[in-house]
Amino acid sequence: MSKELIKLKIKELLSERNSILLPKFLDEPEFKDLATGNQTWYLLTKKGEESNIQILANVSVDCIDAFNELRHSQEIAIGPTTEFFSAIEGYTNRLPIATKIQVYKTPHWMPSLVVKGKHF
């Protein structure tokens, strides 16, 4: 049930804007109440390997699943953005920036932007 509410909230927030920096979703109190947890969402490589690239931290499994389901149904798209844009939006991270999708030995982060997909 929580996953479906998270999906609705993602779509509601995106309907008000063209794009949202991924961590900025957690600035919305209602979304944060639904999605907060102890998981970190890591990007997988094209081969399905864990890349050690963090795209969102302190979220629930339901939150990660909600984003992935919306992405697979092409209701949303998630892609990289610049560290500069992320900083302007008020979000920085102490981890080094991932410059490409590969397996890193240490944790890196990739500032990511959520936009409306083809089937939004």
For residue 67, what pLDDT is reported? 98
Buried b (16+ CB within 10 A) or exposed e, 107-119: bbbbbbbbebbee
Which residues lie below 8 Å from residue 87, measured CB to CB, with a gap of 6+?
A: none
Which tens digit of pLDDT belongs to each residue from 65-95?
999 999 999 999 999 999 899 999 888 889 9
For residue 47, what pLDDT is reported? 86
Buried b (16+ CB within 10 A) or exposed e, 43-79: beeeeeeebbbbbbbebbebbbebbebbeeeebbebe
Instruction: Give 59's strand partners.
Output: 36
All residue ranges of the chain with pLDDT < 70 are none
